[in-house]
Amino acid sequence: MQPNPTTKTPESRYALKVLLTVTAVSLLVNYVETMVIPGIPAIQKDLAASTTIASWITSAFLIVGAAVAPLFGKLGDIYGKKKIFLSVLLFYIAGVGLAGFASNIYMLILSRAIQGIGFAIVPLGLAIITDIFPREKVATAQGIISGTFAIGAAAGLIIGAYVVEDLSWQWAFHTAFILSIIMFFVAAKMLKKDVSGKKSKVDYTGATILMSGIVLVLLYLTEAPNLGWLSLEDIAFLIPGLILTVYFFVFENKRTSPLIQLKLLKIRNVLVANLVGILSSLGMFLLFFAVIYYAQQPKPFGLGLDTISTGLTLAPATLVMLIVGPIIGRSVSKIGPKPILILGSIISITGLSLFIFNRTTTTDLTIDVAVSLVGVVSMIIPITNMISISLPRENIAVGLGMNTMLRNLGGAIGPVLATTIMATYTSPYIVNIGGHPVVAAMVANSTAFNTIFAIAIAVTIVIIFLSLTIKNYTFNKVKQKNPKSNQTQS
């Protein structure tokens, strides 16, 4: 019987400890990844790297993280989620530790790729919560974890800027290494219990095919701004990537112990959650990328803020996610994911519309981001809960890993699309030097940003239509004698 966190029993106290531990580790991962961003210019200068090569400091983590998530989810389902959670955390510690001592850009990129393996912490953590908490409490717990994502990102952006400026980019990794070790020992102590699943073979061949395909597709997307969307060099990534990804589904259909049981994708809510995962991440990263560039572009094309000021401007808005996350989680349990996802989409559209008509001051930007983030968290929590509730228990971790991979895929498309639009619609930034006007640079103009936000709105409208196909469910008050009877579908 699962513990009920609302009663003060040893099981409920354990559940609370697990929630705090998983939340803290997720917070650390998001903090570290955003903390790296302010240091990229310094890293590029110190390691004599080109802009293209330096972009792999973030791309390596994203690509590897997306590729390995389903595999480690499967391992968690078979051997125990907490055991694999700690193993993955060791990869993360190793990657962060090596990064701080990188003597060249390639060693740093390799270190970041190793850190990417550690990104599997996130879906595994969500799966652990699903095991520990009663079904009607899962959404609330997931809401708390989701609410910390933006907090970690904002903290990383602000603290990272100070660390890089006052110490060095190496110390950004050194401090993260120390924090990661602390969190490992905390997790090892707190996650005492483990639940192993049905023993079966791991389809490493299928995992290799899928990871290879996803890596090549993401390589195409990340390199498109530099090599060109239709360049032969970039197409050389895309075509084999698509072939391998499609072949993966053909291959898995013939396996007796597949990495992902394709019949599970026929479950309506699982399919919708994955489709919405791609689209919502695409829209979210379009938003984030455009906002950060707009905030730092010189006036009148932006707000002319530095990195620290940008972080301080966005930080208050991210606090909204910490407050709203648990509320959305409880609402999902009470009225179901369908109305929450539709409401979240409408709120997101409102926030995106505000960016088009209301972005002339830092206060405007803070308000716009706050509204948009309420919409974002109102979409993330329902789809995560739909995966957790709709799949059999022995497939939850791999299902969340698959969803994480697809969301990363959408997240990779967002910045590339935003960059392309900003490079298409530009205006000259003119400065006065010695009494003569000089074109200092070509910068993205208002048309570029309005186009980005309009595309994000269109994507969110598609999410609304997908949401209408969800099979809604709610949870009534738990009945102690028959805990499975509390779920109602409509």
Contact 388, 396 (CB under 8 A): yes
Q: Residues 445-466, buried b or exposed e (16+ Cβ, 10 A)?
A: beebbbbbbebbbebbeebbeb
Rounded CA-CA distance 274/381 in Å is 13
* pLDDT at res. 195: 61
Q: What is the pLDDT at residue 309?
A: 78
Percent of the chain having pLDDT more than 90?
13
Name the pTM for this structure. 0.78
What pLDDT was estimated at residue 197?
59
The answer on pLDDT for 105 being more than 80 is yes
Average pLDDT over residues 125-146: 78
Residue 479 has pLDDT above 60, yes or no: no
Most confident of 230-234, 366-370, 391-395: 366-370
Give the residue carrying structure tokens 């080109």.
50
Q: Which amino acid is at 84?
A: I
Residues 215 and 315: their CA atoms lie apart, in Å, by 32
Are the CB atoms for 71 and 84 separated by under 8 Å? Answer: no
pLDDT in the model for residue 455: 93
pLDDT tier at 48 (50, 70, 90 boundaries)?
confident
pLDDT band at 456 (very low <50, low <70, confident <90, very high): very high
What is the number of other CB atoms lying within 10 angstroms of the CB of residue 243? Answer: 12
Mean per-residue pLDDT over the chain, rounded: 80
Q: How confident is the model at residue 9 (pLDDT cuts 50, 70, 90)?
A: low
Task: Check pLDDT > 80 for residue 404.
Answer: no
pLDDT average, residue stretch 267-289: 87
Per-residue pLDDT at 463: 94
Domain covering 10-195 assigned CATH 1.10.3720.10 in the classification:
no
pLDDT (average), residues 453-482:
81
Give pLDDT, residue 349: 94
Q: What is the pLDDT of residue 298?
A: 84
pLDDT at position 66: 76
| Alpha-helical regions (H) of 299-336 | 307-335
For residue 321, pLDDT over 60 is answered with: yes
* H or E element in which residue 19 lies: helix 10-35
Using alpha carbons only, what angle is made at residue 23 by residues 404 and 165, rounded to the nearest 5 degrees? Answer: 90
CA atoms within 13 A on the CB side of 186: 16
> Is 262-414+451-476 a CATH 2.40.10.10 domain?
no
Q: Average the pLDDT over 158-179 and give the result.
A: 80
Max mean pLDDT range (270-279, 289-298, 456-465):
456-465
How confident is the model over 74-78, as a mean pLDDT?
81
What is the rounded average pLDDT of the residues 206-226? Answer: 77
Confidence class of residue 51 from pLDDT cuts 50, 70 and 90? low
Question: Residue 4 pLDDT more than 60?
Answer: no
Q: How far, in Å, CA of 488 to CA of 60, rounded?
A: 43
- pLDDT at position 454 over 90: yes
Q: Is the pLDDT of residue 489 over 70?
A: no
SS3 call for 3: coil
Flag whether pLDDT at 490 surpasses 80: no
Buried b (16+ CB within 10 A) or exposed e, 471-488: ebbbbeebeeeeeeebee
Residue 10 pLDDT grade (very low, low, confident, very high; cuts 50, 70, 90): low
Per-residue model confidence (pLDDT) at position 200? 66
217/203 Cα distance (integer angstroms) = 21
Give residue 482's pLDDT band: very low, low, confident or very high (50, 70, 90): very low
Query: 483 falls in which pLDDT band (50, 70, 90)?
Result: very low
pLDDT tens digits for range 323-349: 787 888 888 888 989 999 999 999 999
Question: Of 95-99, 379-383, 473-477, where does mean pLDDT reach its minimum?
Answer: 473-477
Of the ranges 181-195, 362-376, 397-411, which is most confident? 362-376
Assign 219 a pLDDT band (cuts: 50, 70, 90): confident
Q: Is 45 exposed, middle or buried (0-12, 13-18, 19+ CB in 10 A)?
A: exposed
Q: What is the pLDDT of residue 6?
A: 47
The per-residue pLDDT for 345 is 94
